[in-house]
Chain A
Amino acid sequence: MKSRLFSLAIYMSATLSGMLVLLYPFFLPAVSQQAGFGTLRVEQMPMMMTLLLGLCLLVLLFEAQGPMVNTKLIALLGILVAINSALRFIETAIPGPGGFTPIFFLIILVGYIFGGRVGFLMGALTLLVSALVTGGVGPWLPAQMFTAGWVGMSTPILYPLVRAFAGRQTKQGSRNINPEILLLAVFGLLWGFLYGAIMNLWQWPFIIGPQNQSYAAGLGLLATLQRYLAYYLVTSLVWDAIAAIGNVLLILTFGAPALRALRRFRQRFEFKYTPESSTGGNQQGRSLTG
């Protein structure tokens, strides 16, 4: 129980710290007593953000991998990350339209079936491995890994919604629409836009653009939000809309069979090794899900 609370505290602190780093343009007027970024210069901010986000990511990864000394989970993640990275590799070679990328389909489904912890690792490691093999390692990588990890980590919020929808459907006796797939598709749609919006935050304060779209220190929360929305609408909405629609189409088309396959393998992976002479030393009995 203590360990779980500790774990929860670490997850919350790392996530909140990461959000503080990314969302600073919105709360800066409330804390700042002077224009600018304290003792930091404008050019130093992206590096500072990369460093801080990288550290938050390291702590999250450390906590998520905690009980992962489990061959089944390591092998499963290794192979699923390889499949997802292969999809990204193909996408890099033959670019899809706009921001379309097939990687979130598997991140969302794996997070939903195997739990938030595995989902986080799936998201973060997919971006890491695909960056390694496509030569995409760069200062943007920690932010990408963090955000993709959030996509996978946030899937458990669907469980109560799916239960509620499924219960209502059973009462009404209708079996036409699979509520699980529908909710996952909506989730994919939202993350299609959110991923772009979060990644934009990494660079938005440093881009000099038209006055009503660019960041200016000293504005209030609402004015900053308004400017960011204007910037997002002009520069990213169409791009992210294609990504979001791509997620929806992939989940609607391949979601049901992929969920069946992942569920079947989750059951097959839930066996236990019981070493004859071991007194609790072996970790194989641990649950696979996070």
Chain B
Amino acid sequence: MKQPWVWVSWLIAILVILSITRNPLYLVIILMCVLFVGLSLRQAGSDIPRPISLWKLAGWVILLATVFNTLTSHYGTTVLFAIPGKLPLISGRVTLEAMIYGATNGLILTGMLASFAVLNLALPVRDLISLIPRAFFPIAVVTSISVTYLPTTLRQFQQIREAQAVRGHQMRTLRDWLPLLMPLLVGGLEHAMQLAEAMTARGFASTRPMSGRGQVYPRISMLLGLLLLALGWVTQLGSAGVSGLAMILSGVLLIIGGLWYQGRQSPRTTYHRKAWSWQDWLTLVAVAIVLSVCLLPLPWLSRQTLYYEPYPTLTLPPFSPWIGLTMLGLLIPGLLVLNKNLTEGCNLNIRK
């Protein structure tokens, strides 16, 4: 898959499902899909250094969420045992329902963390930057500069550290960091100076600035959008009607419309435009089907199976095979990555 937006749509589908269902059976399916896609990407060679592995993180998140909820929430009718005494927070009945609810929380959190981790694996930083809308082109330039300069900064830090060590500098107290941090800061600012001059010399930002209505309309639209957003939020919290949601939606549309209008004033040129492939379309269609099944009130699907709660008495979670089967559509990006790997491997063998 070449289009970054397709990966974003896949991520949105995962997040939407995770936010609407607490059924552990569906959650396990989603988690398996996410892990499968992540493992396929790893096999394809995408990896980023992490302080802790995703498996360990998932294990800890599920374990901690389960233990925390089991010990602190005393709701539910299936009592496993009771913790005696008057320990604040902990003493009381320990129920199976609280344990299952905690594990479900852990699964949801793990799903969210894992899906973002997969996005970070799937998209190189340049593709993530290309997702920044056109209206924010100065911010995109700042982000590009920062991402490009970051490895240089780390290298510079290492060089300064080595240079100070050669001079016999030892790190004993916080103050000993001063000879390391100040050259880094001053060196960076000197570099910014040179960069600004180079950008000016190449004509960056030398075009006539937008003025008049072109600058006012998007700002009016966004200001109105914000007011509607705030009003809609308060209304939504205050009543069960749909007026709040309608106001929020109008606010969202006004803000997005303002940004879109502003973005049109800043044309973006691309040296090599990525073409939409059949893989991109296939994934988009799969995402659209999954979202439709989970969100639209289709009469032949038992959507109520999505809304499962273990409280007050634990029952087996209901399961609709059609919904479960449709969710497997989220495996498609992983299958496409595996297919690409296999094809490339075969081509290499043929050439040999």
User: When A59-B226, A257-B178 are in contact, do A39 and B120 touch as well, CB less than 8 Å?
Assistant: no
CA distance A246 to B269 in the complex (A): 44
Tell me the chain B residues, 131-160 only, with Cβ under 8 Å from chain A: 135-136, 138-139, 141-150, 152-154, 157
B15 within 8 A of A: yes
With known contacts A38-B238, A59-B222, A273-B200, A46–B208 Cβ distance under 8 A: no
Cβ distance B128 to chain A, nearest Cβ, rounded Å: 6
Would B89 and A75 count as touching, CB distance under 8 A?
no
Q: 17 other contacts beyond A31-B237, A74-B145, with CB at 8 A cut-off?
A: A9-B223, A13-B223, A37-B237, A38-B244, A38-B245, A62-B136, A71-B195, A80-B189, A81-B143, A82-B150, A83-B185, A129-B150, A133-B147, A135-B48, A261-B186, A275-B206, A283-B209
Looking at the assembled complex, report how far the CB atom of A82 sits from the nearest CB atom of chain B, in whole angstroms: 4
- Residues of A near B207 (CB, < 8 A) are 281
Closest to A125 in B: B142
CB-CB nearest in chain A for B132: A128
The 0/1 profile, CB within 8 Å of B marked 1, for residues 11-42 of chain A is 00110110011001000100111100111110
Complex: A121 Cα to B140 Cα, angstroms: 12
Among B228-236, B274-282, B285-293, the one that faces the other chain is B228-236
Q: Which of A46, A65, A135 contacts B138 (CB 8 A)?
A: A65
With A65-B136, A125-B142, A273-B200 known as contacts, the answer to whether A40 contacts B113 (CB < 8 A) is no
Number of chain A residues close to chain B: CB under 8 A: 87
Interface contact B223-A78, CB-CB below 8 Å: no
A137 near B120: Cβ-Cβ < 8 Å: yes
In contact, A137 and B119 (Cβ under 8 angstroms): yes
Quick check: B89 and A39 within 8 Å, CB to CB?
Answer: no
**Is B116 in contact with chain A by the CB < 8 A criterion?**
yes
Q: Tell me the smallest distance from the CB of A131 to a CB of chain B, in Å.
A: 9
Report whether A81 and B139 are in contact in the complex, using a CB–CB cutoff of 8 Å.
no
Residues in B with CB closer than 8 Å to A52 are 229, 233, 248
Q: Smallest distance from the beta carbon of B34 to chain A beta carbons, Å?
A: 13
B189 touches A139 (CB 8 A): no
Whether B149 contacts A82 by the Cβ 8 Å rule is: yes
Contacts of A93 in B (CB 8 A): 51
B45 to chain A, nearest CB (A): 16
Tell me how far the C-beta of B202 lies from the nearest C-beta in chain A, rounded to whole angstroms: 9
Q: Which residues of A contact B22 (CB under 8 A)?
A: 43
Instruction: Looking at the assembled complex, report how far the CB atom of A144 sits from the nearest CB atom of chain B, in whole angstroms.
Output: 13
The interface bits of chain B over 231-268 (1 if a CB of A lies within 8 angstroms of the residue's CB, else 0) are 00111111111101100100110010001001000000
Residues of A within 8 Å of B19, CB to CB, are 43-44, 46-47
* Binary interface encoding of chain A residues 37-79 relative to chain B, with 1 for a CB under 8 A from any of its CBs, else 0: 1111101101100011001101101110100111110111111
Give A88-116 interface residues, CB cut-off 8 Å to B. 89-90, 92-93, 95
- For A171, the chain B residues whose CB sits under 8 A away are none
Are B233 and A24 in touch, CB under 8 angstroms? yes
Chain B contacts of A86 at CB under 8 A? Answer: 150, 153-154, 157
Residue among A37, A61, A129, A269 making CB contact with B136, cutoff 8 Å: A61
Contact of A282 among B152, B206, B225, B229 (CB under 8 A): B206
A39 to B207, CA, bound (A): 48
5 contacts between A and B (CB under 8 A): A34-B240, A74-B141, A85-B146, A258-B182, A261-B186
What's the Cα separation between A93 and B252 when bound, in Å? 38
- Among candidates A61, A281, A283, residue contacting B139 with C-beta atoms closer than 8 Å: A61
Residues facing A in B21-78 (CB within 8 A) are 21-22, 48, 50-51, 69, 72-73
Which chain A residues lie closer than 8 Å to B153 at the CB level? 82-83, 85-86
- Among residues of B, the one whose C-beta sits closest to the C-beta of A275 is B206
Nearest CB on B from A71, distance (A):
4
Query: Does B338 make an interface contact (CB < 8 A)?
Result: no
Q: Is A159 positioned at the interface, with any CB of B under 8 Å from its CB? A: no
In the complex the two chains form, what is the Cα distance from A61 to B139 in whole Å?
8
Chain A residue numbers with a CB within 8 Å of B235 are 38
The residue on B at minimum CB distance from A122 is B142
Residue from B51, B181, B218, B244 having most chain A Cβ neighbours under 10 A: B181
**1/0 per position for B146-176, CB-CB distance to A under 8 A?**
1111101110010000000000000000110
**Residue A162 lies at the interface, judged by CB distance under 8 Å to chain B:** no
- Asked if residues A261 and B50 are in contact (CB atoms below 8 Å), the reply is no
Q: Bound state CA distance, A17 and B248, in angstroms? A: 12
Q: Which residues of A contact B241 (CB under 8 A)?
A: 38-39
Q: Is B227 located at the chain interface by the 8 A CB criterion?
A: yes
Given known A86-B150, A133-B147, A137-B119, contact A208–B72 (CB-CB < 8 A): yes
B230's closest neighbor in chain A, by CB?
A17
- Leading 6 A-B pairs by shortest Cβ distance: A78-B145, A31-B238, A82-B149, A135-B120, A75-B196, A75-B195
Is A249 at the interface (CB under 8 A from chain B)?
yes
Complex CA gap A93/B48 in Å reads: 13
Contact of A82 among B145, B178, B233 (CB under 8 A): B145
Q: B346 an interface residue at 8 Å Cβ cutoff?
A: no
B112 at the A interface (CB under 8 A): yes
Residue B335 lies at the interface, judged by CB distance under 8 Å to chain A: no
Contact of B227 with A13 in the complex, beta carbons under 8 Å: yes
